[in-house]
Amino acid sequence: MNAVGTLIGNPPALLNIPLGLDAVDDAAFTTLKVITWFPKAWPFIALTDQRGPLGPPNLTGFEYFFSVPGSLSLPSLMTWTNMSAAYPGAGWPNGIDIKMLDQDPKLGDTIEFIRIRPGKNTSVFRIAGHTHLFVLQGSATITPVGGSTTTMDKYTYAFLPENFAVSISNPTQYMGPGAQ
């Protein structure tokens, strides 16, 4: 059974599991943010009519989770924003887009998806915080300043320390309108 129709079965999702959320015998001892990515439909959450000792007594942990504002974000329902519109004057070329999934101003954390269209590449840029790159589709090449280019295939992960200067490109050849 799927509580919200087919939406929950589409990857990816951002789950904000709040402190105290309980389902059966499990309880969250801290707030947790989880990005899920599955190459096919899921759920990995099973509905249950049992509840744990925490949370409102009239709701199961699953119902409580979905009643908390912001507990589930579905990037497939969010719009892409061109990086040049998101960061005007920073020199971002067309074909590089972003989806802002979450921001925590207290910690200065952000969770973003970046889409690099076929044949496009970024200029060298630097992100102030630690950065986790995970290629969800296709492949990407990353080139650190003064370093060698590395190809990241689908489902490849890389960690970039804060202030690491890099350029990223999508090596897929563009085959759309106007392609040569």
CB 4 within 8 A of CB 31: no
CA-based nearest residue to 82, from 109, 121, 116, 118: 116
What pLDDT is recorded for position 9? 44
Predicted confidence pLDDT, tens digits, the chain (180 residues): 334 444 444 556 667 666 666 655 556 666 667 666 655 555 555 555 566 665 677 776 667 767 777 776 777 778 889 999 988 988 888 999 988 877 777 877 777 888 899 999 998 988 877 888 888 788 999 999 999 999 999 888 888 888 899 999 998 877 767 665
Are 61 and 104 contained in the same domain?
Answer: no
Strands of the chain, DSSP E: 13-17, 22-23, 26-27, 32-36, 72-73, 81-82, 96-104, 109-116, 125-126, 131-134, 140-144, 150-152, 157-160, 165-169
Q: Is residue 90 part of a domain?
A: yes
Are 48 and 27 contained in the same domain?
Answer: yes
Are 90 and 48 contained in the same domain?
Answer: no
Looking at 74, 98, 122, the residue that finishes a domain is: 74
Supply the range of the domain harboring residue 139: 78-169
Number of domains into which the chain is organized: 2
CA-based nearest residue to 10, from 75, 68, 71, 78: 75
| pTM of the complete model | 0.65
Q: Is residue 2 part of a domain?
A: no
Q: Is residue 104 part of a domain?
A: yes
